[in-house]
Amino acid sequence: HRPATTNHIAVLAFPFGTHAMPLLGLVRKLSEAAPHVRFSFLSTAKSNASTFSAWGSIEDDRIKRIDIGDGLPEGYVLGGKQGDLMEHFLEGVAERFKHGVEAAAKEMGEGIGCLISDAFYWFVEEMAEEMKVPWVAVWTSGPRALLTHLDTDVIREHIKSSGSREKPLDFLPGFSEIRVADLPEEVVTESLDSPFPKFLYKMGHHLPRATSVLINCFEEIDKDIQSLLNSRLPNYLNVGPLSMLVLMQQPPSDDHGCLPWLDNHPPNSVVYISFGGFLCPPPHELAALADALLESGIPFLWSFRGNAEGSLPKGLREMGSGKIVPWAPQVQVLMHSSVGAFVTHGGWNSVLESIGGGVPMIGRPCFGDQRLNVKTAENVWGIGVSLEGGVMTKSGVLKALGQVLGSEEGKLMREKVGILQALIHKAAESTGASSRNFSRLAEIVTKSWDQ
């Protein structure tokens, strides 16, 4: 049983993709709800630096940043692929976090009473058991992706026996419109030898033994899947959308003037483009997208990772009806009435924010759960389209833009996303389900566990 006097929680973040950001947002909100609790937030130095600076100067006596090693071998030359960095990070990650947690306890002069971690970190189950403290696991993606990891064995068996990647997964509730080929590759890969699939495989088996599993989602979406998860995971709590629940409380930083630029456009006329935190589609696809935008003349706002000057045609950069920025206040951009379509990689946060803004999506997924998210938006919720052949070609983009912005089909998508939009906002209200679940979480992490 955890020491009754301890009000110190250690938070173990995953340093890649958009994982640490929403987790720090959650911690910040928890800290407001329980001001007597102190948090140590553990991630790599690089991840902590960017996450803490993005949230503004929130490191204070109550939320302390602790840097852990990134696992890179000495002399490693940076510039490697994200996948390589992740593999190095995963090697020995449990030990590094163990030391980090000990260091946090020392630094704060107070033992740890609870561990909150990214749901990926299955090893925290054992840590929590040894420390006799609760483990709260935070799943930063959607319910459908979570279920595929819990049911990884069943899915693997199905793939082995059916042999086809094109068949729908109709034996899983809510998956009759989803094919094996749409699932995260870590779930369908045959070999569990490589580090990340093996890591996620273990997660699927350990998560049901957490004290509580949180998800960055809202209860009203995918109800059949949600109720299944509810029956299989302890204290399963929808506390999302975190970017809206937490981010909206601080004014957006709009260094490149995206919002005033959008003010000058009529409703549903602009296409917003972002592929998340990485440079994801290859250059020739970005060029195809640029060609389609040039030809269509549709006003666009493009949050471009990397060097736009070197990568995009001059004509596009100088096109009066477009704006290219290195970063946009995406949550607010998608809520702006002038945005009518979102070209996205289908990262979970982007999907939630698109729903929050009532904007239909055009999906160009890259990896992980993104294909599943895009297919769900298209085939299950009817609020998006994917591109012909799964990649961007000039004609494919033009077709998708026409569908979303200029057809009856697009109108229907807008209606459907409008219904979800109302539900997501309701969940996030102070009396909504996500806010109630959040209060329950605050109780869980601050109250005695043995009752």
What is the C-alpha separation between 411 and 432, in angstroms, rounded?
A: 28
- What DSSP assignment string belongs to 141-204? S-HHHHHHHHTHHHHHHHHHHH--SSSB-TTSTT-TT-BGGGS-HHHH-S---SHHHHHHHHHH
Question: Identity (one letter) of the amino acid at 231?
Answer: S
* Residue 324 in contact with ligand UDP, rule: CB under 6 A: no
Residue 51 or 243 having the CB closest to ligand UDP: 243
Contact 325, 256 (CB under 8 A): yes
The stretch near ligand UDP (CB under 6 A) out of 79-87, 122-130, 183-191, 346-354 is 346-354
- Residue 67 tokens read as 């840097």
Question: Identity (one letter) of the amino acid at 144?
Answer: R
Shortest Cβ distance from residue 399 to ligand UDP (Å)?
24
Tally Cβ neighbours within 10 Å of residue 335: 20
- Establish how many alpha carbons lie within 13 A of residue 436's alpha carbon, considering only the half-sphere containing its beta carbon: 8
Contact 164, 188 (CB under 8 A): no
Catalytic residue among 8, 118, 182, 222: 118
Shortest Cβ distance from residue 332 to ligand UDP (Å)?
9
Shortest Cβ distance from residue 19 to ligand UDP (Å)?
7
* Residue 25 in contact with ligand UDP, rule: CB under 6 A: no
Sheet of 270-274: strand order equals 322-325, 300-303, 270-274, 339-344, 361-363, 384-386
Residue 136 or 258 having the CB closest to ligand UDP: 258
Shortest Cβ distance from residue 286 to ligand UDP (Å)?
15
* Residue 17 in contact with ligand UDP, rule: CB under 6 A: yes
What residue number has its CB nearest to ligand UDP? 347
- Residue 335 tokens read as 């809520």
Considering only 142, 240, 347, 432, the residue that binds ligand UDP (CB under 6 A) is: 347
Residue 125 or 222 having the CB closest to ligand UDP: 222
Strands of 195-314, DSSP E = 212-215, 236-238, 270-274, 300-303
Considering only 7, 296, 330, 376, the residue that binds ligand UDP (CB under 6 A) is: 330
Shortest Cβ distance from residue 98 to ligand UDP (Å)?
27
232-261: contacts with ligand UDP (CB under 6 A): 243
The stretch near ligand UDP (CB under 6 A) out of 26-34, 208-216, 260-268, 326-334 is 326-334
- The answer to whether residue 291 is catalytic is no
What is the C-alpha separation between 302 and 322, in angstroms, rounded?
A: 8
The stretch near ligand UDP (CB under 6 A) out of 62-70, 96-104, 345-353, 443-451 is 345-353
Contact 138, 117 (CB under 8 A): yes
Question: Identity (one letter) of the amino acid at 124?
Answer: V
Contact 37, 8 (CB under 8 A): yes
Positive or negative CA dihedral for 192, 149, 382, 420? negative
Residue 367 or 449 having the CB closest to ligand UDP: 367
What is the C-alpha separation between 391 and 386, in angstroms, rounded?
A: 9
Residue 15: cis peptide before it, omega within 30 degrees of 0: no
* Residue 396 in contact with ligand UDP, rule: CB under 6 A: no
Residue 134 or 365 having the CB closest to ligand UDP: 365
Tell me the three state secondary structure of residue 407: coil
Considering only 12, 13, 18, 152, the residue that binds ligand UDP (CB under 6 A) is: 18
Considering only 152, 212, 226, 274, the residue that binds ligand UDP (CB under 6 A) is: 274
* Residue 328 in contact with ligand UDP, rule: CB under 6 A: yes
* Residue 367 in contact with ligand UDP, rule: CB under 6 A: no
* Residue 197 in contact with ligand UDP, rule: CB under 6 A: no
Site string for ligand UDP, 286-315 (x = CB under 6 A): -----------------x------------
Shortest Cβ distance from residue 443 to ligand UDP (Å)?
27
The stretch near ligand UDP (CB under 6 A) out of 61-69, 156-164, 203-211, 343-351 is 343-351
Considering only 277, 313, 402, 418, the residue that binds ligand UDP (CB under 6 A) is: 277
**Rounded (10°) CA dihedral 167, 168, 169, 175:** 160
Residues annotated as catalytic are: 19, 118
Write out the residues near ligand UDP by the rule CB under 6 A: 17-18, 243, 274, 276-277, 303, 327-328, 330-331, 347-350, 353
